[in-house]
Structure 1
């Protein structure tokens, strides 16, 4: 009997001048563990006149995780951070009570051809930390636990699993794993997981209980402890999940909270431009007339 409870197809969505594939939230599954939002950016080629420019915008109640496969993004925020994100590195920004950031093509790449491809993820904060002071961490690719088992490559992007712990400072029991294989292998990894689990196929595919699944799909497991499948040759997949929160989370535009009043206050503060400003940036994304739910 299949352990797959739900299959979520990637849906197109716009972020500024960039098209992304939205995976979470989905109307039948708002969260997987603490993961509340996953966007697949690209792959896209940009010419010397095209650039990635997400103007200053606010967040509350969550941590953002940016993980690139190709390209480069210059991150700037209201804590004064100005950091270039490169492939294999993890950008981990915790909004807490409120932060503003922008994401742009670095200046030295703006007049040349470039590629962009990666994942942008939101992880909801535990209720008691929703209003914490904002934080920012940048973790180099060399600091991310990586290992190989039976010719299958594993990377623990964030959280704890397989008896290992990532250097990304998460705030609840969770995991995000990258698994790559050039050959077909049967994997039984359920004993290393906990809580809820989702599987995102970036390239290649998997087989489970006689059915095959390909790229741009998230598979949500009925039971993470029974997570087993056959990974197809030349495949890259991501396993993500963890302990679900007892409280419901509300999501409105870039804001996440257990209390709708916190979101309404954040919307008002952004409209009145009461959030801190990013040094050197004057543009900003206005509050949408019809916020995304």
Structure 2
């Protein structure tokens, strides 16, 4: 791979009944724009006793972005929000100074019938001056997401600004996220189409950059920001995301993100002492894992 690109392979993580592939952060790159964490959920066959069940857990200093290709996630949080996120929808929960939530397979899917679960759970770090805002949850149905076709590509602008268009979800800093499907072999040219750092998560198929193949389950990060182009094979699907880097360095501790390590430690103690707000009607609790030294 040319030295102006970083290539990342998914690292598998076990979430009980469910395996996820962790793409970001990794050692050489902690963030791409404000994006600080990406988990690839599936694709996996669920049903017949095997479901997504992520119990109550906290966040500070970030927004979670849930985007699915197949299956559904039932979101509940300590604000009282309750929404089923389906393919093409966007769920965006901003934690600010503190929120808790659960993510589960909806009740109507809990049958003997099998189904496919596939999507991404993404964390977007908040700028320093927004870290302590009040929590909120926003939901954007699939029908509200800007979609168009151009040069053999189907594009959906999930968040932010790109390709001369604006999504309903703008977030709290310069960012973009685009779902792209190549209906034929074609070239994607990003010159003057977006601003900031750029990464490509290959969902299926493969892309070519200077005779190097990048396959599904890998992430390609450009070091030259938006001035690049890539070749997509027919049937390739990818998520294009990034934005302008945040001004202040951000740190990650378990489910917490902050520009202040002191805030991370305080959040850890708050959760240990069960001082976070609770999801209504839910008494589950995920303890903070002890870090190996």
Coarse TM-score class (shorter-chain normalised): over 0.9
Find out whether 1:76 has 2:76 as its counterpart: yes
In structure 2, relative to structure 1, the CA distance for the partners of 1:234 and 1:31 (3 Å cut) is: same
The equivalent of 1:52 in structure 2 is: 52
Q: In structure 1, how many angstroms separate the alpha carbons of the residues matched to 2:64 and 2:14?
A: 18
1:61 and 2:31 matched: no
Corresponding residue for 1:22? 22
- In the TM superposition, what are the counterparts of 1:108-257 in structure 2 within 5 Å? 108-112=108-112, 113-257=114-258
Please state how far the C-alpha of 1:19 moved relative to its aligned partner.
Answer: 1.0
| Structure 1: gaps spanning 5 or more residues | none
CA contact (8 A) 1:3 1:221 kept: no
Checking the alignment, whether the CA contact within 8 Å between 1:60 and 1:98 is kept in structure 2 is yes
Contact 1:147 1:154 survives alignment (8 Å): yes
Question: Hey, what does 2:31 align to over in structure 1?
Answer: 31
Gaps of at least 5 residues in structure 2 are: none
Q: Is the aligned partner of 1:89 residue 2:89?
A: yes
1:115 deviates by 1.8
SS state at 2:221 partner: strand
How far 1:15 moved relative to its partner? 2.6
Tell me the TM-score normalized by structure 1.
0.96
Instruction: Find the residue that maps to 1:226 and give its secondary structure.
Output: coil
Q: Deviations 1:196-234 (Å, cap 9, x if unpaired)?
A: 111111111111112111111111112123220111111
Q: 2: distance between equivalents of 1:94 and 1:225?
A: 27
2:18–2:51: 8 Å Cα contact kept in structure 1?
no
C-alpha distance in 1 between matches for 2:196 and 2:41: 27
State the number of aligned residues: 292
Shift of 1:3: 7.4
Paired residue secondary structure (2:33): coil
**CA 1:186–1:3: 2 relative to 1, 3 Å:** farther
Aligned residues of 2:152 and 2:185 also touching (Cα < 8 A): no
Q: Secondary structure at the match of 2:192?
A: helix
TM-score (norm 2): 0.96
